[in-house]
Amino acid sequence: MNLYRYSSPSTFYPLAGKLAPWFGWSALILAIVGLWIGFGIAPTDFQQGEAYRIIFIHVATAWMSMFIYLVMAFWSALSLGFNTRLSGMMAQAMAPTGALMTFIALWTGAFWGRPTWGTYWAWDARMTSELILLFLYFGVIALRNAIDDDRRADRACGVLALVGAVNVPIIYFSVQWWNTLHQGSSISATAAPKMAAIMLAGMLVMAIAVWFYSIAVTLVRVRCIILERERGAAWTGQMTEPGKK
Amino acid sequence: MSEFLAMGGYGFYVWGAYGVTALAVVVELLALRARRAAALKASTEAVR
């Protein structure tokens, strides 16, 4: 199969429409399974009590908030380098969901931090850099809305997204580089996880659910963006006739 | 059931975190549905 065939908006539009429901329903099923593990099976934490159950969404969305940014920067780089239309549309489609994930990570972190650390917020390295990530997403979205010409907006947002990408490794390594409030990672690719297997399982299932949700929402949003930006092109009219999917 | 909702005294924090998350997701999905409806409408009107 030639994947480049799907690199134009007119061919990607129907493909995204076919894929989105699969990712969406998978996300829902995985979220139900993950929450069932998280609330039904996983035992109470001996130190944090029931408050630790917040981490099932906190860790999953915090990972996703960083990952979406990197993927957005990747599409921005393609858009800047090759001036391809779909790349800019993909970058545009990811920003709102990235901002949502960042907001949820910050919010759930605060609600976990209050009972566990004794404070909703501290100007800790990890939390501050994650807050900067939220502002970067807002900046990309605001810049996009401020520029009428879509291709110029692609370039401006692309530069901002790429420059902002330096913040992602700062967030990721902040708990190692600075010894402030946020604890280090409980999971590592090279060492045994510092948590019970069933808690880890719940967290990973939730992480995959958040992945699939983000993919589904991005695909639906990029279809909207394609329609908005290709309006008036003959193929969009055919695609959106009543009864067409 | 009420014991489950109490979350060992952490009910406010656990449900405060999960509730706002659920709300945020619902808002995103509704916004997306509205955006799709508007894009489809504008697209069919553009060809006519």
Q: How far is CA A144 from the centre of its chain?
A: 18
Say yes or no: B20 contacts chain A, CB-CB below 8 A: yes
Query: CA–CA distance from A40 to each of A34, A36, A194, A199, A227 (Å)?
Result: 10, 5, 21, 11, 43
A100: chain B residues, CB-CB within 8 Å: 24-25, 28
Instruction: Please state, rounded to an integer, the average pLDDT across all residues of chain A.
Output: 90
Share of chain A above pLDDT 90, in %: 66
> In this complex, do B17 and A232 lie within 8 Å of one another by their Cβ atoms?
no
Nearest by CB: B28 against A49, A54, A100? A100
Say yes or no: A161 contacts chain B, CB-CB below 8 A: no
Given this model, what pLDDT does residue A197 score? 85
CA distance A197 to A135: 35
Assess whether pLDDT exceeds 90 at residue A93.
Answer: yes
Q: What is the nearest CA distance from B30 to chain A, expressed in angstroms?
A: 11
B3: chain A residues, CB-CB within 8 Å: none
Structural domain boundaries in chain B: 21-48
pLDDT in tens, A4-36: 778 888 899 999 999 999 999 999 999 999 999
Nearest residue to A61 (alpha-carbon basis) of A207, A225, A216, A228 = A207
ipTM above 0.95, yes or no: no
pLDDT in tens, A193-234: 677 788 899 999 999 999 999 999 999 999 999 999 988 777
Given this model, what pLDDT does residue A227 score? 93
Assess whether pLDDT exceeds 70 at residue A168.
Answer: yes
pLDDT in tens, B2-34: 888 888 888 899 999 999 999 999 999 999 999
Given this model, what pLDDT does residue A189 score? 62
Q: How far is CA A63 from the centre of its chain?
A: 8
Q: What is the pTM of this model?
A: 0.92
pLDDT in tens, A114-135: 988 888 998 988 999 999 999 9
> In this complex, do B43 and A236 lie within 8 Å of one another by their Cβ atoms?
yes
> In this complex, do B14 and A50 lie within 8 Å of one another by their Cβ atoms?
yes
Say yes or no: B18 contacts chain A, CB-CB below 8 A: yes
CA distance A192 to A200: 11
Q: Which residue of B has its CA nearest to A35?
A: B18
What residue spans of chain A are helical by DSSP H? Answer: 9-35, 55-82, 85-117, 125-146, 150-164, 167-177, 197-229, 234-239
User: What ranges make up the beta strands (E) of B1-48?
Assistant: none
The average pLDDT across A173-184 equals: 83
CA distance A20 to A32: 19
Given this model, what pLDDT does residue A4 score? 77
Given this model, what pLDDT does residue A244 score? 62
The average pLDDT across A138-164 equals: 95
B21: chain A residues, CB-CB within 8 Å: 57, 61, 104, 107-108
Assess whether pLDDT exceeds 70 at residue A245.
Answer: no
